[in-house]
Amino acid sequence: MKPAPFAYAAPRSVEEVVALLAEHGDQAKLLAGGQSLVPMLNFRLARPEVLIDLNRVPGLDGIRLDGGLLRIGAMTRQSTLERHAEVLARCPLLPAALHFIGHPPIRHRGTVGGSLAHADPAAELPAVLACLGGEVVAQSRRGERVIPAAELFVGLMTTALQPDEVMTEVRMRLPAPGAGWAVLEVARRHGDFALVGVVALLELGGEGAIREARLALFSVGPTPVRARAAEEALAGRRPTAEEFQRAAALVEEALDPDSDLHASAEYRREVGGVLARRALTQALARIPGREAR
């Protein structure tokens, strides 16, 4: 199918973008990498009157490490972030998660902001943002506001971004040096959307007990799901196989996924628990000198 007719705008500044958004509101759509939007246009699942192309707007891409914060321009290509040397060194879970997104040509076009704004429940980046405790910056004629990950994803493919807002920056808290991490998912083939996935971060304290565990699951509900009960149960405990098994049971208990064409709710719940346990085990093994006992 071909898209329904639309007008095309190629603004050259963020000011122009927000002016166009203020004028057209929900009749407009922003075009980033086009990897999700173009298929939606072709299937006529999206029928904007105006397409606002962000690809010629300077200053919307770039990667900066700012103290403990990773700042990523919304138009940064997924492949650029995946290969960034400092990101690989300081936050390896991010490139590992990006590697699961489709295939290289998709990641060459697809952007970080586009993936977060699209908010597919099976997407990796929203779960990374949830796990790292990130936030995004949104700009409109009304000014700039910061939206924390916990408030960004409000429902199935729905974010707190308003129709007159453009996401300009994504900020993620860098894990503490020496923290363990894992990104695991089950998909039919590499590059397919995940049937179930998990992003895990594990920090130990001086005594070897768990200082903080973070688990964000994806493709198990309309938005990324933080496994809060499991995280709380792990805090202060010794990182043993038994504790990880107990945490996995709490993850399974907390999940309330839907069944669809690809997997049943029962499958997703059970695999969610299994992946959480494996991710914690893998995260621990990545902490220098540690392995599950």
Ligand X SMILES: Cc1cc2nc3c(=O)[nH]c(=O)nc-3n(C[C@H](O)[C@H](O)[C@H](O)COP(=O)(O)OP(=O)(O)OC[C@H]3O[C@@H](n4cnc5c(N)ncnc54)[C@H](O)[C@@H]3O)c2cc1C
Q: 163 vs 237, which CB is nearer to ligand X? A: 163
The β-bridge partners of 214 are: 201
Contact segment (CB under 6 A) with ligand X among 27-35, 61-69, 254-262, 272-280 equals: 27-35
Q: Which of 215, 214, 216, 205 is nearest to 238 (CA)?
A: 205
**Which residue from 153, 181, 193, 244 is in contact with ligand X, where contact means CB under 6 A?**
193
Binding residues among 261-290 for ligand X as defined by CB under 6 A: none
Contact segment (CB under 6 A) with ligand X among 87-95, 115-123, 241-249, 261-269 equals: 115-123
Counting contacts by CB under 6 A, is residue 183 touching ligand X? no
The span from the CA of 217 to the CA of 167, in Å, is 23
Contact segment (CB under 6 A) with ligand X among 61-69, 79-87, 114-122, 226-234 equals: 114-122
> Tokens in use for 238?
């010794």
**Which residue from 24, 84, 118, 214 is in contact with ligand X, where contact means CB under 6 A?**
118
For the bound state, the minimum distance from the C-beta of residue 226 to ligand X, rounded and expressed in Å, comes to 18
Counting contacts by CB under 6 A, is residue 37 touching ligand X? yes
For the bound state, the minimum distance from the C-beta of residue 285 to ligand X, rounded and expressed in Å, comes to 25
Q: Which of 209, 192, 197, 178 is nearest to 272 (CA)?
A: 197
The span from the CA of 39 to the CA of 184, in Å, is 27
The span from the CA of 121 to the CA of 131, in Å, is 14
Counting contacts by CB under 6 A, is residue 139 touching ligand X? no
Contact yes or no for 119/153 (Cβ under 8 A): yes
Contact segment (CB under 6 A) with ligand X among 101-109, 204-212, 244-252, 283-291 equals: 101-109
The span from the CA of 291 to the CA of 204, in Å, is 12
Q: 36 vs 281, which CB is nearer to ligand X? A: 36
Half-sphere exposure in the Cβ direction for 23 (13 Å, CA) = 11
**Which residue, chain included where needed, has tokens 């500044």?**
13
Furthest-apart CA atoms within the chain: distance in Å: 63
**Which residue from 36, 76, 80, 281 is in contact with ligand X, where contact means CB under 6 A?**
36
**Which residue from 101, 195, 201, 220 is in contact with ligand X, where contact means CB under 6 A?**
101
The span from the CA of 270 to the CA of 277, in Å, is 11
For the bound state, the minimum distance from the C-beta of residue 201 to ligand X, rounded and expressed in Å, comes to 19
**Which residue from 167, 215, 220, 279 is in contact with ligand X, where contact means CB under 6 A?**
167
Counting contacts by CB under 6 A, is residue 219 touching ligand X? no
Instruction: Quote the DSSP letter at residue 39.
Output: H
Binding residues among 65-84 for ligand X as defined by CB under 6 A: 74
Q: Which amino acid is residue 200, in one-letter code?
A: A
Q: Which of 62, 71, 75, 72 is nearest to 32 (CA)?
A: 75
Counting contacts by CB under 6 A, is residue 93 touching ligand X? no
Contact yes or no for 172/128 (Cβ under 8 A): yes
Q: 113 vs 273, which CB is nearer to ligand X? A: 113
**Which residue from 124, 164, 203, 252 is in contact with ligand X, where contact means CB under 6 A?**
124
Contact yes or no for 257/220 (Cβ under 8 A): yes
- Site residues (vs ligand X, CB under 6 A): 29-37, 54, 74, 100-102, 106, 109-111, 113-115, 117-118, 120, 123-125, 161, 166-167, 193
